[in-house]
């Protein structure tokens, strides 16, 4: 093995081993976080109103006494990873207590920013087990996702035939969509002046309802599969319509595609964009398409942010044949769909808002 001259071979070997092991065992951190969400640790500390000792926490969670030390070891990793913080009382003999951090506050039930459903949904066995089929997937000459290779059916069919699975997926998407409220507050100008808007693949309407609250005069339509919106009711300026975005999209001043195009390859995304362009060109008017998705910048100095975006890219690839796109890829896709201009605005930490014009 060839090591560079930036230090001894032994030192570089040790650093290489640490780097490799860290990525091998990253899944442990993810599963510890999933356990915290399932146990409701953040809820317990939040409801207590102040930091909790290990004894208090174990009692609140109704854990068996034999599991108290196990809880401590889980909390040690979660604390190291920034989800909890330790505090010690003034008296030396007082037990260490655990408090919430901004990250664990995202696990508090009932809060508009609660992402527990996203944590448990993303780390569900259905999503994790498929990775055991990667060798088979790479060696098969078939046009299928890793999920299809592992499960024998595509993810959407898998979801739609089980109401509990579909509900879990919708809960996870709803949890993420609630974070849109912060982005909406910072980008109100994007929606000002619109008379109508259609939220394509808008699920149960979490994002549309936020827009409706901020702009009650905009006629908002949530457009999704009939089985998703069939039993939902709205009001005068908020309605739910079932249909197929690959066939046509209801006309409006603006089409919103929030986390839609990353589910699909370029060919299908092009079809959605062309249908969107037709939808905003009704009655001789030219509206706009509002895309909320990731725009990858591999030259960014923020290594952690880019890593997250590239991880999302593999999630989209392996589950849907979708992709997260670089700015160059967005440019090509948008212009191939017949649009003349666009602008990209970074929002929500790792996503971007892309305004697209005919």
CB 212 within 8 A of CB 222: no
3-class secondary structure, 96: coil
* Chain-centroid distance, C-alpha 102: 18
What string of DSSP letters covers 228-254?
Answer: HHTT---BTTEEEEE--TTT-----SE
Q: Is the dihedral of CA 110, 114, 119, 121 positive or negative?
A: positive
What gap in Å lies between CA 145 and CA 77, rounded to an integer?
33
Provide φ and ψ at 176, rounded to 5°.
-65, -40
State phi, psi for 354 to the nearest 5 degrees. Answer: -115, 115
Annotated catalytic, 48? Answer: no
Three-state secondary structure of 279-301: HCCHHHCCCEEEEEECEECCCCC
Phi and psi (nearest 5°) for 84? -140, 165
Q: How far apart are CA 179 and CA 177, in angstroms?
A: 5
Instruction: Give the Cα separation of 318 and 262 in Å (integer).
Output: 12
Q: 64, 262, 303, 321: which one is catalytic?
A: 262
CA atoms within 13 A on the CB side of 57: 28
Torsional class of 87: left (φ above 0), alpha (ψ -120 to 50), beta (otherwise): beta
Residues with catalytic annotation? 262
């Amino acid at each position: 093995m060839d090591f560079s001259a930036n230090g001894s071979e032994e030192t570089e070997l040790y650093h290489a081993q640490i780097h490799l092991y860290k990525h091998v065992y990253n899944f442990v951190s993810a599963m510890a976080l999933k356990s915290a969400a399932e146990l409701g640790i953040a809820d317990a500390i939040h409801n207590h109103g102040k930091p909790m000792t290990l004894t208090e926490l174990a009692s609140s969670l109704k854990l068996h006494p034999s599991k108290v030390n196990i809880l401590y070891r889980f909390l040690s990793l979660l604390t190291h990873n920034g989800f909890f913080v330790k505090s010690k009382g003034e008296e030396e003999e007082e037990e260490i207590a655990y408090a919430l951090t901004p990250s664990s506050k995202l696990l508090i039930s009932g809060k508009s920013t609660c992402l527990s459903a996203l944590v448990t949904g993303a780390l569900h066995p259905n999503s994790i087990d498929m990775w055991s089929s990667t060798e088979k997937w790479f060696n098969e000459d078939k046009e299928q996702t890793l999920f299809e290779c592992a499960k024998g059916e595509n993810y959407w069919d898998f979801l739609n035939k089980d109401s509990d699975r579909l509900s879990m997926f919708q809960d996870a998407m709803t949890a993420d969509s609630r974070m849109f409220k912060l982005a909406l507050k910072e980008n109100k100008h994007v929606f000002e002046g619109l008379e109508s808007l259609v939220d394509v693949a808008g699920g149960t309407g979490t994002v549309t309802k936020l827009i409706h609250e901020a702009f009650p005069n905009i006629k908002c339509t949530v457009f999704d599969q009939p089985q998703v919106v069939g039993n939902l009711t709205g009001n005068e300026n908020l309605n739910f319509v079932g249909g197929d975005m690959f066939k046509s999209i209801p006309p409006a001043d603006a089409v919103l595609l929030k986390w839609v195009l990353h589910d699909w390859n370029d060919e299908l995304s092009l079809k959605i964009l062309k249908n969107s362009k037709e939808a905003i060109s009704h009655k001789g008017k030219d509206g706009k398409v509002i895309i909320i998705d990731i725009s990858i910048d591999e030259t960014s100095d923020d290594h952690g942010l880019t890593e997250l975006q590239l991880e999302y890219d593999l999630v989209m690839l392996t589950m849907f044949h979708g992709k997260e796109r670089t700015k160059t890829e967005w440019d090509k896709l948008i212009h191939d769909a017949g649009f003349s201009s666009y602008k990209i605005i970074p929002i929500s930490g790792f996503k971007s808002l892309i305004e697209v014009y005919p």
